[in-house]
Amino acid sequence: MSNFTFLKTWQAIYDNATQSENSVYADPRACCFYARRTLEKVVDWMYRYDVSLTPPYDSNLAALIHEPSFKNNLAGGLFPKLKAIQQTGNRAVHSDSVISQDEALQILKELHHFLYWFYRCYSEQTPLVDQVFNLALVPNTLKIDANLIQQSTTKLKQQAKQLAESDKAQAVIEAKNTELSEEIKALQAKIATHKQKISHTVDSHNYNEADTRKFLIDLQLKEAGWDLTHKNTLEYEVTGMPNNKGIGFVDYVLWGDDGLPLAVVEAKRTMHSATKGRQQAKLYADCLESMFKRRPLIYYSNGYELYFWDDTYYPERQVQGYGTQAELQRIINRRSERQDLLTAQVNKGISGRYYQEEALRHICELFQEHKQRKALLVMATGSGKTRTIISLVDILLRHNWVKRVLFLADRNALVTQAKNEFNRLLPHSSPIILSSGLATIQNRVCFSTYPTMMNLLNEPAESRLLGSGFFDLVVIDEAHRSVYKKYRSIFDYFDALLVGLTATPKDDIDKNTYDVFGLESGVPTYAYEADQAYADGFLVPPVCMSVPTKFMREGVHYKELSHEEQDQWEGTPELIERDKVLPSEVNRFLFNEDTVDKALKHLMTHGIKVSGGDVLGKTIIFAANNDHANFIYARFNANYPKWAGHFARVITYKEGYAESLIADFKDNTPAKDPSKPNLTIAISVDMLDTGIDVPEVVNLVFFKVIKSKVKFLQMLGRGTRLCPMLFGMDQSNPEHNKQNFMVFDFCSNLEYFELNPDGAKENKQKSLSQNIFEKRLHIATTLYKIPEDDQQQKEALVKFRDYTLALLHHQVSGMNLDNFIVRPKRQYIEKLLNREEWNLLDKSQISDIVSHITDLPTDANDFNTDEANVEDAKPFDHLVLQVQLEYLETNSLPQALMLRIIIIAENLETKSSVPNVAEHLSFIQEIQTDAYWEHITLPMMEEIRIKLRCLIQFIDKGKKEIIYTDFEDEVGKGEVKDVAIIYTPNSLLQYRKKIEAYIKTHESQLTIQKLKRNKPITEQDLEVLEDILFQASGMESKEAYIEFYTDTKNLGIFVRELVGLDRAAAKEAFSGFLEASTYNSTQIDFINRIIDYLTVNGVMGVGALYQAPFTDIHESSVDGFFEDAQVVNILDALEAINANSCFDGKVGFG
């Protein structure tokens, strides 16, 4: 007897099923192999004889069982069983991992459930008899030698190949058998009738969801390398439970090599939330801690949701997978090995600037004191974000907080740049760039682009290189909204500390980005922004020059051209019907030589020079598009041929070996051959907008329109980095160091941001596919209620609604549950795999679909030939859906959208020579009539969509030809502009600029330098200074000058208040205090507030210390943060600073 006797009608299926059954104990690997082969046989049979099933794009098992018509045909809860059979069968053949007898037995049970359902749906037997799995019928054959089992992997691979070839040959024979073909047709008809009949009967079979749920958990544990046959892993008995017997049985205990428990896993039913198991799991952990003197980690799951709880340090959190033994052991060890971050010493050779240390202190306190796991750093471009993160990695590695780090960026160039910095500053971290070819990863710091990581994580779960616990820290470079919108699934996948880096000003960061890090909008973990960096002297500010060109600002007008140019205009076919070219079309449709030539001349004349003023410094030209970039390159070579094409180069994503060009642009090695100079002008489209670090850049040319404030500031950041000794070899001489950089704006960007400081609003649209899904869902669910007025119209609407619901169901059914993006949402997807579930969704279900499903990727093949995924079809789908939705909600047609459909029909009519178009020509013509739209209905609109969507590809795209002209342009005088969003000094800072200008004029005068740098001054110093300032004031008498400017204050104090105190000097004044002890970030922040005050105000009385802003953070000000002795030291430091502004040391205020 066998559990599969009921299948004898299907001999081949029966033979394979019994082969699987006979191998459970003898050879578990063979059992799983034959279970999968049985599944293949059944699925092939179903596609052959069940005409309701649509063959997919591929004939492999994965494609066959994922095909929506197949999944829709299954009973609820069966699909996970099929996936388990498929995956374990794959492991049996392709993996050397051990397959236990228990695992094989569970696979056999899952196969039995599926085969019963198959028997029920397709058997002609009457009456149908429920089939219950009987363990006693499984042959209890002795387990064979372990070595033979290991050998069976190779044998199974050979056998699988032989059987596949045999199946293929048999299929060829059967295809040629015409008599067999007639039998098939007869059987197909019989099956269709039988299925219709059986659909009205109740299926009372117990498909044992609990076993399947447990098996899902088993599979996830095995993915993490856990051997569930290990002694004491399953149903482990513990004592000390608060129940009558005082004992309990832990669903799973995961053990370490030391024989101590690493973690408990509590499993709950799928119908319940996983959190229902939280308290029970905690009690099990209590018992194990009492029994083994070490507290285990805690997991609880319902097969879909998985929570992890290290309750010795963190609250619970949802995770996407179980940790490996090594990963869990690392977490356990960290309890005793983790060292204090608050006293960590920062390696100042890596990050020696004050704000970098502040940022590190904030993160360390966040991680240790506040037990937070996410941090967001806002740091101006060029201020050393990468150095700061290298220092953080250094601290966390040294203090045993992390072992492996992942650094993510959006481009290969940024990944390479960051890796090189790690190599240079932290070589023992053994950095590596990840790729799909790696078999193992032993390195501490890994680098990857987002797309590469997506590909690595999209590998099948059983062969995926990176588990969810592989990394301890994930760093996101340029953490902004577009990254999270597209790649957030990566950050959700890894259970790691998360640090985001961005140069976007904190007030311009999207709320969703703050949400990712669990932060209040506008309040990052730490911010060091451009204004402060400019004031500190850690960044150089831009000198922004707006350069007006007539054509770029006003366009090209025929009537304003010379006679010769008008002749050229008339001789250009693309212009002959025009009287003007719009400004927006210049450098897109029309490329004018004189415009580019004059812009280049302005750059070469007014740009900052190096090499003693003979050679233009490093320059980036931001071009509008690739054609524009190539045109600029051609015009540069035409005007400056002596450099033989080496001085300027195009660097775009379309350029071959772009990474090597970037390396050439960064290279400052003197050219060996003067006729082949170093790459100095980089003409870029998007590629150099962000992230690239070239301190020598001193000129930026905006030859494209920018509306985004964030992007504009990022592009400006290419020039802000310090570059000592760029103009000479004496670093102590300010004129030898880079002090600013030039911005040449030919496209009115500066004027735009003067009028629109916030820039254009960011486009937050959803993807086209998501929009289509949500509109369809809205339309279909609205049509659950259809008026009874017109029976014929009602029938048409019902048909339209059901078709739309079927489309949605098809898309969801095609979602691959093993995809790492889809997997966390599988509980929502599996509820909707049955087509009937879509017929009356309630508000809660609709909300779940919108929140969890509409943006997920799908592998669904074409629903039918009308819904083929052809070029331009989706935008047309969306257009018609917009019309349908507005018509449904307002009962009126949106005229503009309707006109777009009519224009499309007009364009299609011109393509009547295309057979596909000719087939629908009369319909296309009818759409263009008013009569058609007069009584339009939703089903009629759907007919337009279905008939036209695959024809859109035949319409000419209407791409404009590029034309080249040489009309004389006008370039105005460049005007330097102060734009508020770039740098906004207050009036005191403006006056400071004037004073500094006089300092440069009187370089031999030392008094102001002494005052700024907190050096003692003499009476004679002040007399000389007074003469200089009087001359600068322009006033008629010295008495008026003294009365107007200084009032009754000491001249030294007055000047100090004007010029402020040099930040370095202020920090130096407090350096002894700061180095005397280790302070927390709040204390350091308070001292920096004092330094900020002194930097602006120059002097500080004791009274100011007990006013805002110092009392804003603590009502007791300094006394609330420091011990009494420390407060005295702070006051002494202030008194010394104030005293140095007066030759007699008497300040005169307190």
CATH of 210-337 given 3.40.50.10490, 3.40.1390.20, 3.90.1570.30, 3.40.50.2300: 3.90.1570.30
Question: Which has the closest alpha carbon to 811: 873, 877, 855, 875?
Answer: 855
Mean pLDDT of 788-813: 86
The pLDDT of residue 57:
67
Is residue 762's pLDDT more than 70? Answer: no
Tell me 1043's DSSP state: I
Mean pLDDT to the nearest integer, 942-963: 86
Rounded Cα distance between 979 and 346, Å, is 37
Q: How far apart are CA 632 and CA 599, in angstroms?
A: 10
Strand partners, 475: 407, 499
- Does 1149 have pLDDT greater than 80? no
120-176 pLDDT tens trace = 888 877 777 888 899 889 988 654 444 444 446 667 767 777 777 777 766 666 655
For residue 1044, give the DSSP letter.
Answer: I
702 three-state secondary structure: strand
DSSP state of 763: -
The ranges assigned to domains in the chain are 5-207, 210-337, 354-536, 542-751, 768-954, 985-1150
Contacting residues for 125 by C-beta, under 8 A, at least 6 apart: 6, 9, 119
> If DSSP codes are grouped into helix, strand and coil, which group holds residue 775?
helix
Q: Are 974 and 890 in contact (CB under 8 A)?
A: no
Q: What is the mean pLDDT of residues 22-51?
A: 91
Name the residue with tokens 């050096």.
1015
Range with the largest mean pLDDT of 361-370, 666-675, 1050-1059 = 361-370
pLDDT of residue 123: 84
For 542-751, CATH gives 3.40.50.300
CB contact at 8 A, 100 and 177: no
pLDDT at 577: 85
Of the listed ranges 167-176, 318-327, 812-821, 924-933, the least confidently predicted one is 167-176
**340 confidence band (pLDDT: 50, 70, 90):** very high
Q: What is the pLDDT of residue 695?
A: 92
How many angstroms separate the CA atoms of 831 and 732, rounded?
71
CA atoms within 13 A on the CB side of 175: 6
Give the closest residue to 35 by CA, choosing from 79, 82, 80, 94: 82
Hey, what's the torsion of the CAs at 1092, 529, 418, 350, to 10 degrees?
0
Q: Where are the alpha helices (DSSP H) in 891-1017?
A: 895-909, 915-919, 921-927, 930-934, 938-948, 987-1001, 1007-1012
Is residue 482 scored above 70 in pLDDT? Answer: no
Q: Report, as an integer, the average pLDDT of 294-314.
A: 91
pLDDT of 1148 above 50? no
Q: Where are the alpha helices (DSSP H) in 426-480?
A: 450-457
Structural fold of domain 354-536: Rossmann fold (3.40.50)
880-922 tens-digit pLDDT: 999 999 999 888 899 889 999 998 999 898 888 999 999 999 9
Same fold, 354-536 and 542-751: yes
Residues whose CB falls within 8 Å of the CB of residue 201, separated by 6 or more in sequence, listed in order: none
pLDDT, greater one: 493 or 827:
493
Amino acid at 691: G
pLDDT score at 985: 42
pLDDT at 518: 83
Which tens digit of pLDDT belongs to each residue from 708-722? 888 898 899 899 999
Give the whole-angstrom CA distance, residue 704 versus residue 596. Answer: 12
Closest CA to 222 of 321, 137, 300, 289: 321
Task: Give the pLDDT of residue 1047.
Answer: 46
Question: Is 198 a residue whose pLDDT tops 90?
Answer: no
Q: What is the pLDDT of residue 398?
A: 96
Quickly count: other Cβ atoms within 10 Å of residue 1068's Cβ: 12
Give yes or no for a contact between 1056 and 1141, defined as CB atoms under 8 angstroms apart.
Answer: yes
d(CA 721, CA 724): 10
CA distance 492 to 763: 24
Instruction: Supply the mean pLDDT for the chain.
Output: 85
Q: Which helix (H) or strand (E) holds 580?
A: strand 580-581
Q: Is the dihedral of CA 1032, 1037, 1042, 1045 positive or negative?
A: negative
Give the per-residue pLDDT at 608.
94
- The helix (run of H) or strand (run of E) holding residue 367 is helix 354-368
The token pair at 674 is: 């003067």
Query: Roughly how many angstroms between the first and final C-alpha of the chain, as a whole number?
Result: 103
Is the model more confident about 97 or about 705?
A: 705
- Higher-confidence residue: 320 or 1141? 320
pLDDT, tens digit (0-9, with 9 covering 90-100), for 671-688? 777 778 889 999 999 888
- Strands of the 542-546 sheet, one edge to the other: 648-651, 681-684, 618-622, 697-702, 741-745, 542-546, 975-977
Among 85-94, 160-169, 639-648, the minimum mean pLDDT is found in 160-169
The 10s digit of each residue's pLDDT in 840-863 is 899 889 999 998 999 999 988 888
Tokens standing for residue 469 = 């616990």
CA-CA distances (angstroms) from residue 761 to 709, 710, 711? 9, 10, 12
Average pLDDT over residues 623-634: 94
504-543 burial by CB neighbour count: b if 16+ within 10 A, else e?
Answer: bbbebbbeebbebbebeeeebbbbbbbbbbbbbebbbbbb
Contact present, 781 and 846 (Cβ < 8 Å) = yes
Considering only 83-97, 893-907, 1030-1044, which range has the smallest mean pLDDT?
1030-1044
Q: What pLDDT does 1048 receive?
A: 43
| Residue 675: closest CA among 714, 646, 639, 632 | 646
The answer to which of 342-351, 741-750, 1093-1102 has the lowest mean pLDDT is: 1093-1102
For residue 986, pLDDT beyond 50: no
> Does 1042 have pLDDT greater than 90?
no
Percent of the chain with pLDDT strictly greater than 70: 89
Look at 111 and 1040; give whichever has higher pLDDT: 111
Say what the pLDDT of residue 218 is. 84
Give me the pLDDT at residue 426, please. Answer: 94
